[in-house]
Each structure stands twice: as structure tokens, then as C-alpha cells.
Chain A
Amino acid sequence: MIINSRFFNRSELMGFVALAAVLFVILPLTLDVFRLNLVAKYLTYAFVALGLVLCWGYGGILSLGQGVFFGLGGYCMAMFLKLEASSVENTKIQSTPGIPDFMDWNQITSLPLFWQPFHSLTFTILAIVLVPGLFALIIGTAMFKRRVGGTYFAIITQAVAAILTILIVGQQGYTGGINGMTDLRTLKGWDIRPDHAKIILYFVEVVLLFACIGIAQFIRLTKLGRILVAMREQEDRVRFSGYSVANFKIFAFCMAAVFAAIGGAMFALNVGFMSPSFVGIVPSIEMVIYTAVGGRMSIFGAIWGAILVNFAKTSLSESFPQLWLFGLGALFIAVVLAFPNGLSGLWGDYVQPRIDRLFASRKSKAGWKDNSVADGAPAE
């Protein structure tokens, strides 16, 4: 990845370096494997948050159904892992050995057709990106071509999340139902459960995350990114200028879906688990909350939001098992009330100017403030 002053401005470069330092060096050196694995879990949500920055922060499309894509990606990965864990040898106590355990409990006697291709890792990796991407394309085309937007779009994404959950829970013979897919063990014979595997998976995930950050930043800087922002601010004006608003919206929505799906797949790998509790309405709204807390206009802000909110969730629930949900709720309300642009807004308003003054006093003027679109954007 080329990092130059054109690709990242100075404040973004600082954000990039800080995040890289924390994720690549500080956390792996200071945390034990158990906590590092928890961070890996938080980071899977950072992928979703990154997608939401593109689609909601820049494109202005609020999706309350990102759990759908997170889930689709996660389930694709989990299906591959589950098949590998269900070898004839591992499942010989079942009435039909060689199929996943939950199928056996539901009196299914042969592997369903749509499971067959998931024996192949190549197919699985393609499916992780293509299945959610195509699904988003269908929803996006159906909605945006008819100019369904704003609140109505949000409601429809939420309905899709509810439908998919009901489908997964109802078809438990094929999906594992409410239990989800548990006991995932190996990836191509490589055990994903021991400590050293967790560390490798963590670094793979961080590298992937930075790759996705690169893509998101690239989209932002191209003309495409400008059009997205213009669309958010004045949709009709963009349309009258001759752009196909629907196509741009579909693109942003699909990108967000693909990012979420990558997060979901990494989740299945890191946690060894996938269940409908990540697909439904509540997790989808939580994903929007991480993004809002971190700052939906800022790529790095949203990622920090996902990490910090989930960290708060873990530590509050460890310290106050009965009361933690109230604490978390209060935290959300406080952040949204006090800092409508999230933590990144707080940074931009208070911390960044001081740093800039520091630099300015040393060097001659350096124009850091190019990002006028992010500032002064109305909070929805």
C-alpha cells in the first residue's frame, strides 16, 4: 500500500499509524492470548463499521440489516469448517456418520445439495464475498431503482434481518437452528483452536482489516467518493446533473455488505462458532451503534468505536454481571447526546487542533484541513 500525502492527509496518517501501532505491536505484546482473541472478535465488527462508514457516513444510506451480511459471510465460513469437523471418523456415533451433528439430530440422512460445494475452500472464499454481495445487489436494485430510500430503506433492511433469522432458526436441520454451528475445529487440517493458531488468525485479520481500510480510503478519494457525499447532501441535484443515483447507492451498499461478510467469516474462524444471534435485528442495530459511537464520518473513528464499545461490553459484564446492560445503555446515550459525531468528532474538535497548533508552530503552514465535507455535516 502506498502511503503518501495524497492518499492520507496528515490527521488520517496519524490515525493510520496509531491504529497500526496498537494492533500490530502494542496489543500483541501486552495481552495474553485469551484477551488477544477477544480483540480479534471485536475487530470482526470493525469490518462492519468500516462498511457502514462508506454506506451510511458517506453515502447517507442507513442500513439496519448489516447483521444479514455478517451472518451470510460467517455462515459460509462456518459451513466449510463444520463439514471438515464432521468427518466420518469424528461422527461415528451418529446414525448417519459424515454429516454435521445437527443434521443427524434432525433426522436428515444425507448432506443437502447446497452444502456440497462447501467442501471446497476456494468455493467457500468466493462465496463469502459473492453471496452477500449478490444478495445486497438484489436488495439494492429492488429498492434504489424504485427510489426507496431513507427511513423506508432502513425498515426494509431490518425486515430482511428478521426474515433471515426466522429462516435460519426454522430450518434447523440445514442450518443448526438457534444453536448455530458449534465445535468448528480445523481449516484444511490446521487446528484453529490452540493458542498459536489464535495469534496467527489475529494477524491475518489485522492485515485484512488494513487492506479493507485501504480500499475504503481509495473509494473515498476517487470521484466516486465525492459523488457519494454529494448524494448524501443533495440527492436530487446529483440526479439532475446526469448521474444515476441508484447505481452509486447500490455500489456503496454492496461494498458495505462485502466488508461485513469478511468480518463475519473472520468471526467464525476466530470464535469457532456461528449462530443466528449475529444475524437478527438487535446485533444489526448494535453494529450501527458502534459506528455512531466511533463517528460515522471517519474510517478510523468507526473502527475505534467497534473496538471500544465491545471492550466496554466485555469489561462491564465481567465486573457487574447483573447491571452491565444499563451501564452500556447509559454510555451510548451519553456519547450520542454529547458528541453527535462520535469519538472522532470529539477528537477533531478538541485534540486535533492542539496537535496542529503544535506542528504549525514548528513548521510553516501545512494545510491539514481538506476534509470540509466531514465537518459541518448535519447529524441525522
Chain B
Amino acid sequence: MSDEANKGLLSPLRRKLLMGMAAVPAITMLPKASFAQAPATSAVNTTGLAVTDTEVTVGILHSATGTMAISETGSIEAEKLAIEQINAMGGVLGRKIKFIQEDGASDWPTFAEKAKKLLVNDKVAAIMGCWTSASRKAVLPVMEQYNGMLYYPTFYEGLEQSKNVIYTGQEATQQILAGLNWIAKEKGAKSFFFIGSDYIWPRTSNKIARKHVENVLKGKVVGEEYYALGSTQFNSVINKIKLTKPDVIFTDVVGGSNVAFYKQLKAAGIDLAKQPLLTISVTEDEIDGIGGENIAGAYACMKYFQSLDNPNNKAFVPAFKKMWGEKTVIGDVTQAAYLGPWLWKLTVEKAGSFDVDKIAAASPGVEFKGAPEGYVRIHENHHLWSKTRVGRAKLDGQFELIYETADLVEPDPFPKGYQ
């Protein structure tokens, strides 16, 4: 509906040009307030947050070290890009965003400690952060106790909803159901084999997937296996797959284990062009490690692919590469992390205040038309309305978009009939 204006926001690659163009998107993007003189600090900040007349401080809390660094780096980069772009447009309520970065070090209690430090010591107005469910679970009590605001980017298992968190990734039903429907229809699939890493997200996702397969698709789950995080031996499960010959292999194996899993699948002679495989855990970031030739042909169910063909994404991808290097790839979570600072900015401007209570209350209904995935809107339950998409992995490590839902899918963190 406002495509021309959105191009204006996202096409300029050079920062100066972007600054010059700031007024164009502002017409559609911003409420009128932002054109007025910046409102007085005492009016927009009644709870003692780190807001001055010219600056507002937010926190970035991800693992820059440890095993999760490889996954979380993309999120850090996306958040910094969003903050820089927002600042180039004039900031939030006339204030530049300053960020304090803390390292969660892939260690959940460290996340909790650093979140507390950001809220109590630094008085940040919002935190963009966390990646694994474990880190979010560790941080959540801190956010609720000290009344902070967390923008959490990863697709996750659901079963959670908090005033103090905006979930910019998909909860499990948003990611899984449409993908299963599509593959059941497209491939006539009736039997499924589940393989996952052994922690809460794969187990909950598979529970939802199993109920959907059995109750809605009237199919059968012929196997369900879990492997410890970091596991690299998948030969036994690959033999079981060969024996049971499922119509679809459904996987939520995470992190480095993927490299071993897909290589061993290939070595065992399972050709993904003939054997449908649907993953909900492999993005462009993981393919970087797996190697395109090992996974080509597999289907992934996400809400964003780097190859998406829309004006927002065509501006976002080059801007990201310009800031972080030509070779970087952008996965689903990286895009969701990019949404965090933008949604916060839009919400602050809607609320006319940095106060956390007001932001929490103003969040439902906030829409971001400049999202690289297209368009998103915050639901009353603090999750996002977004589309589900299925892509097929190509040799070059990118996904080719095969299917997307016609409408935005409603987030349903406590799905009835799936628990």
C-alpha cells in the first residue's frame, strides 16, 4: 500500500543519502510527534531510565563468545544496523540511540547477571537480546522483576507470554503447522520421522508437530529420536530412516550437529531430491557450515529467506552486506533481530513515552511496513503476526521460495489441542 514510500526508506545505500531521504519514509512511518521539537525528557521518561535530552540508551545482550557466538553474531549485527539506520533518520523522539553491548558468553546465568546489570546499573530503556530458550528463561525473571523490555528474536517453542517481552520470531505453531500442511498436500506425505536435538525447543516443536500429523493430517509418526546438543553421530538414526522409509524426515537438530547430520545423510546415500526433508532449524547461517552441496534439495520452514523478492528486502540485504561484509549471510533470526529496534522505536513513538509500562501497553497493533520479511504487526499476546514460508535449499547456500501462506499467521503461544 505504501511501496513507493518504503522504497524511499530502504533503497539508499549510502548513509548520507539515507539521511537526506529521511523525510520521505517519515511521512508514512512516523506519527506526527516526531516532527515536532523533541518532547521534554521529564514528560517521556517518568521512571528514571537512561534518557537525556539528546540520547536514549538501549542494551544489546547476546553471546559474543562461546558456542552460541556463531549463531548470535548475526543478531548483534542486525541490531546494530537497525540502530544506525534509526539514528540516521533522526533517532527516537528526537533522541539518538546509544547502545551498551554485554556478552552473555553462551552461559545462561551470565545472561541473567548482565540483564540485571543493564537494567539496574545502566537503566537501559530496552534490551535487544537472548537467543536460546535457556537464556531467555534465565533473563525473563529479571525482566519481570525490574520491569524491563526485552525484544527476543529467535523462533521458539511458545508456552510463554510476558508483558516485558516482545517475541519478534515465530512461536512453534506459526513455524510448523503451515509447513506440515504444505508438505502433506504437495508430496502426499503420510508418514513422518522426527529427529531433534535434546532440549525444550525441539521436544515441544515435535510434540506440536506430532499432534498435527496425527489429529489433523491423519498421518503417522514412524519414529522420534533425540540427540544431545553437539552430537555428531547420526548413523543409527539414518539406518532407522532407511528401514522405516518415511515420506518425510522432519528435523529440528540445532547448531554444529547439523554439519554431521547432513554429511552423514548424504554419505548414506539418501538423496534429498527424492527423499523429502523438512527442517525448522536450518537457516542460511547454518548452511554456511553444512555446505550447500550437502543439503541442496531440503525444505526449510521459516518466515524469512535472504532471497525474498520484495522491495524492503532488496534494500535490507545490500545495507547489511555493506556494513558487515559481502560474505555475510542473513538467516531467519538475523532478520527477526533487525525488527527489534524498529518495533521498539515505533512503539515508543506511538506511546509518546519511553516508560516500559506504556510501551508494553502500546505494543499491540504496532505495525512495521519496512520489515525485510514484508509486513509485521504485534499481536495482543506480544508475538508477531507474520507469514510462514517454505524454501528449498540450493547449491549456493541460498533458499528458493517455494510456498508462502496467503495471509499473516496468527501467533498462538498456548495452542489448544496441541499441549
Of A106, A178, A318, the contact of B229 (CB 8 Å cutoff)? A178
B64 contacts across to A, CB distance below 8 A: 321-322
User: Is B117 touching A321 in the complex (CB atoms < 8 A)?
Assistant: no
User: Is A179 touching B102 in the complex (CB atoms < 8 A)?
Assistant: no
A352 contacts across to B, CB distance below 8 A: none
User: Is B109 touching A179 in the complex (CB atoms < 8 A)?
Assistant: no
A340 contacts across to B, CB distance below 8 A: none
Nearest-Cβ distance from residue B53 to partner chain A, whole angstroms: 26
B133 contacts across to A, CB distance below 8 A: 179
Please name 17 further chain A to chain B contacts, defined as beta carbons within 8 Å, in addition to the given A172-B198, A325-B65, sorted by A numbering. A105-B200, A105-B204, A106-B200, A170-B228, A172-B200, A178-B134, A179-B134, A180-B137, A182-B140, A182-B141, A183-B137, A271-B112, A273-B108, A275-B108, A275-B109, A275-B138, A277-B108
Contact indicator per residue, chain A 308-336, by CB within 8 Å of chain B (1) or not (0): 00000010011001101100000000000
Per the bound structure, the CA–CA distance linking A73 and B103 in Å amounts to 28
Of B101, B113, B140, B414, the contact of A38 (CB 8 Å cutoff)? B113
Judged by a CB distance under 8 angstroms, whether B37 is at the interface is no
User: Is B199 touching A172 in the complex (CB atoms < 8 A)?
Assistant: yes
Known contacts A169-B198, A172-B198; decide if A183 and B103 are in contact (CB<8 Å): no
B108 contacts across to A, CB distance below 8 A: 179-180, 273, 275, 277
User: Is B159 touching A105 in the complex (CB atoms < 8 A)?
Assistant: yes
Per the bound structure, the CA–CA distance linking A34 and B117 in Å amounts to 7
Closest 4 CB pairs of A and B: A321-B103, A179-B134, A183-B141, A34-B120
Judged by a CB distance under 8 angstroms, whether B81 is at the interface is no
For this complex, 7 residue pairs linking A to B, each with C-beta atoms less than 8 Å apart, are A38-B113, A169-B199, A172-B200, A178-B199, A180-B138, A273-B109, A317-B103
Judged by a CB distance under 8 angstroms, whether B419 is at the interface is yes
- Which of A179, A277, A322 has the most chain B CB atoms closer than 10 A to its own CB? A179
User: Is B199 touching A177 in the complex (CB atoms < 8 A)?
Assistant: yes
Known contacts A179-B133, A271-B109; decide if A318 and B203 are in contact (CB<8 Å): no
Judged by a CB distance under 8 angstroms, whether A145 is at the interface is no
Give the nearest-CB partner of A34 in chain B: B120
| Size class of the contact patch on chain B | 35 or more
Contact indicator per residue, chain A 168-197, by CB within 8 Å of chain B (1) or not (0): 011010000111101101000000010000
- Give B contacts to A, CB under 8 Å: 64-65, 101-103, 105, 107-110, 112-114, 116-117, 120-121, 133-134, 137-138, 140-141, 145, 157, 159, 198-200, 203-204, 207, 228-229, 414, 419
Give the nearest-CB partner of B161 in chain A: A93
Judged by a CB distance under 8 angstroms, whether A131 is at the interface is no
Known contacts A277-B107, A321-B103; decide if A169 and B138 are in contact (CB<8 Å): no
A95 contacts across to B, CB distance below 8 A: 419
Per the bound structure, the CA–CA distance linking A193 and B116 in Å amounts to 12
Give the nearest-CB partner of B101 in chain A: A321
Give the nearest-CB partner of A183 in chain B: B141
B140 contacts across to A, CB distance below 8 A: 182-183
Per the bound structure, the CA–CA distance linking A177 and B207 in Å amounts to 17
User: Is A275 touching B134 in the complex (CB atoms < 8 A)?
Assistant: yes
Per the bound structure, the CA–CA distance linking A106 and B145 in Å amounts to 26
User: Is B141 touching A180 in the complex (CB atoms < 8 A)?
Assistant: no
Give the nearest-CB partner of B112 in chain A: A273
- Which of B117, B138, B159, B198 has the most chain A CB atoms closer than 10 A to its own CB? B138
B157 contacts across to A, CB distance below 8 A: 105
| Size class of the contact patch on chain A | 35 or more
User: Is A166 touching B107 in the complex (CB atoms < 8 A)?
Assistant: no
Of B103, B120, B159, B200, the contact of A179 (CB 8 Å cutoff)? B200
- Which of B64, B105, B108, B109 has the most chain A CB atoms closer than 10 A to its own CB? B109
Of B141, B228, B414, the contact of A272 (CB 8 Å cutoff)? B141
B200 contacts across to A, CB distance below 8 A: 102, 105-106, 172, 177-179
Per the bound structure, the CA–CA distance linking A185 and B142 in Å amounts to 11
User: Is A321 touching B116 in the complex (CB atoms < 8 A)?
Assistant: no
Nearest-Cβ distance from residue B204 to partner chain A, whole angstroms: 6
Nearest-Cβ distance from residue A274 to partner chain B, whole angstroms: 9
User: Is A169 touching B112 in the complex (CB atoms < 8 A)?
Assistant: no
Give the nearest-CB partner of A283 in chain B: B107
Per the bound structure, the CA–CA distance linking A273 and B141 in Å amounts to 10
Nearest-Cβ distance from residue B312 to partner chain A, whole angstroms: 30
Per the bound structure, the CA–CA distance linking A95 and B416 in Å amounts to 10
Judged by a CB distance under 8 angstroms, whether A371 is at the interface is no
Per the bound structure, the CA–CA distance linking A185 and B145 in Å amounts to 10
Per the bound structure, the CA–CA distance linking A308 and B145 in Å amounts to 28
Of A105, A185, A322, the contact of B103 (CB 8 Å cutoff)? A322
Per the bound structure, the CA–CA distance linking A278 and B419 in Å amounts to 31
Judged by a CB distance under 8 angstroms, whether A122 is at the interface is no
Of B103, B134, B138, B229, the contact of A324 (CB 8 Å cutoff)? B103
Of B134, B198, B203, B419, the contact of A180 (CB 8 Å cutoff)? B134
Contact indicator per residue, chain A 216-228, by CB within 8 Å of chain B (1) or not (0): 0000000000000
Nearest-Cβ distance from residue B142 to partner chain A, whole angstroms: 9
B204 contacts across to A, CB distance below 8 A: 105
Interface residues of A in 92-151 (CB under 8 A from B): 93, 95, 102, 105-107
Contact indicator per residue, chain A 261-277, by CB within 8 Å of chain B (1) or not (0): 00000000001110101
Per the bound structure, the CA–CA distance linking A225 and B21 in Å amounts to 77
A102 contacts across to B, CB distance below 8 A: 200
